[in-house]
A = this chain, B = another copy of it.
Amino acid sequence: MSKPFCEGEYILLQLDRKRKYLVKLERGRRFHTHKGFIELDRIVDKPEGVMVESSMGVGFYAFRPSLWDYVESYERPTQILYPKDIGFILVYTDIGPGYRVLEAGVGSGALTSFLAYHVKPTGRVYGYDVNPKFIEVARRNLERTGLLEYVELKLGDIYKGVEESDVDVAILDVPSPWLALDSVYKSLKPGGFFVSFSPTINQIEKLVESMEAHRGFLVLAVLESFTRSYKVKKGETRPETTMIAHTGYLLFARRLSSRS
């Protein structure tokens, strides 16, 4: 049974599809929106999905935030991966409880959060980044989401090697993934999935070329994905006017048992 809201937890106040606020549920506090304020006291002990009216009489719904709700509220010094790309990675790699996943670079920790969520409680994400600022941001983001304990954040350069071996999956979002092929090959178990995300097609091309020379991987797919949202209303249904045209390309490969 969904338990009632407790003081101290984060909740989502949602006005409509696009306007939602991640709020810490504190006694005696008023949360201010452009549609009036909400007395948070009125939400404690209420069930999920409850409607509360603002001081201006506008209805907000209170939910427990989903992981994506948390991630959308992250501090973001870097571009983050979107659901369309995260979803593909989850489906193609079988990441689940107990998996040990190598990730570089961590950036703001968006993908890291989804990886941590799916490997917990017994798995681990080994998250590398060369930028100490990003490591700190990712730490704060993961902490608030309650997922930090499943992640080992490491300041380090994957091009130079990593400490882990025999990881189940390795995922790169770095500028020159071809420089990390040896590191990935050494740390990834035979048969393990290698995923690389790159904004330019040139990076993918150079990566594929380097992988062919390296001979330690079998490339399975290179793809990009798109999402188009709709405004749905009886007799007036149509796609939204604009969309994201590009985030990046995804490459999927598997590690061979030896460099053939």
Given the interface contacts A222-B230, A226-B226, does A1 sit within 8 Å of B166 by beta carbon? Answer: yes
Q: What residue of chain B has the Cβ atom nearest to residue A84's Cβ? A: B225
Confirm or deny: A163 has a beta carbon within 8 angstroms of a beta carbon on chain B: no
Determine which residue in A1, A89, A118, A191 has the highest number of CB atoms from chain B within 10 A of its CB, and name it: A191
Number of copies: 4
Identify A49's interface contact among B64, B114, B236, B257, CB under 8 A.
B257
Given the interface contacts A63-B191, A224-B227, A256-B49, does A117 sit within 8 Å of B90 by beta carbon? Answer: no
Q: Which bracket fits the contact residues of A?
A: 35 or more
Confirm or deny: A17 has a beta carbon within 8 angstroms of a beta carbon on chain B: yes
Q: Which of A1-16 contact B (CB under 8 A)?
A: 1-2, 14
Confirm or deny: A154 has a beta carbon within 8 angstroms of a beta carbon on chain B: no
B209 in contact with A230 (CB, 8 Å) = no
Confirm or deny: A208 has a beta carbon within 8 angstroms of a beta carbon on chain B: yes
What residues of B have a CB within 8 angstroms of the CB of A241 in the complex?
Answer: 244-246
Kindly state the separation between the CA atoms of A66 and B63 in the bound complex, as whole angstroms.
34
A17 in contact with B87 (CB, 8 Å) = no
Identify A191's interface contact among B47, B86, B97, B204, CB under 8 A.
B47
